[in-house]
Structure 1
């Protein structure tokens, strides 16, 4: 199985690049078994909001295709954001650093756009 871990931690267009990476991977894999996880922490969690005109639709479309999006709970707290701020379907993990290490230990290839 193809395992891809995308990590975004800045509030610039790296989330857009990561979303394009995920979409391109899905397209290239043509339905082959795959697990794609995007983990956002730091300022990047602010870009996962359901009201974000730049990324909300792309996030929803990718999650509908099986991409998993996880937001760091510590980062949400740092920016005074709550889970209901996120695009529906985004998951909250307690600490992104633990999630990143865990997924790499499970054989996910780490990519940081």
Structure 2
């Protein structure tokens, strides 16, 4: 099997739980270290990076398995969130939509649960 590349997109805070389950199931199915996985949040989705401790813990577990977490700087500003308040494993990107387009140009499959 070729190395898979998957980009999960979340722009609604209530979608995080399902996104995290989808990412975990994907990794369990293909095998840890056998795919490139990124989860990009924009819009109100970025608020989860400053919210529920249980969700942050699940993010940490997935990050330890190689999942990249990204937050849109535009959305952070819109929701008055400072980059310095993000968990250390979260990468701030200039614009979430640009990150999505870039990853798709690199061959990532786009998934929006």
**TM bucket by the smaller chain?**
over 0.9
Equivalent position of 2:29 in the other structure: 28
- Quote the residue 1:57 is aligned against: 57
Greater share of helix: 2
Q: Secondary structure at the match of 2:92?
A: strand
Contact 1:59 1:87 in 2 (8 A): no
Alignment of 1:1-113 (within 5 A): 1-12=3-14, 14-31=15-32, 33-49=34-50, 52-113=52-113
Structure 1 residue 11: deviation in Å? 2.0
Kept in 1, the 8 Å contact 2:32–2:65? The answer is: no
CA deviations on 1:22-73 (whole Å, 9 max, x unpaired) are 1111111123521000000000100012x52231100111001000000000
Secondary structure of the residue aligned to 1:54 is helix
Please provide the CA RMSD for this pair. 1.2
Deviation at 1:99, TM superposition (A): 0.4
State how far apart, in whole Å, the 2-side matches of 1:85 and 1:43 are: 16
Q: Distance in 2 between matches of 1:87 and 1:33?
A: 25
Q: With structure 2 as the length reference, what TM-score do the two structures score?
A: 0.93
**TM-score, scaled relative to structure 1:** 0.93
Which sections of structure 1, spanning at least 5 residues, go unmatched?
none
Structure 2 spans left out of the alignment, 5+ residues:
none
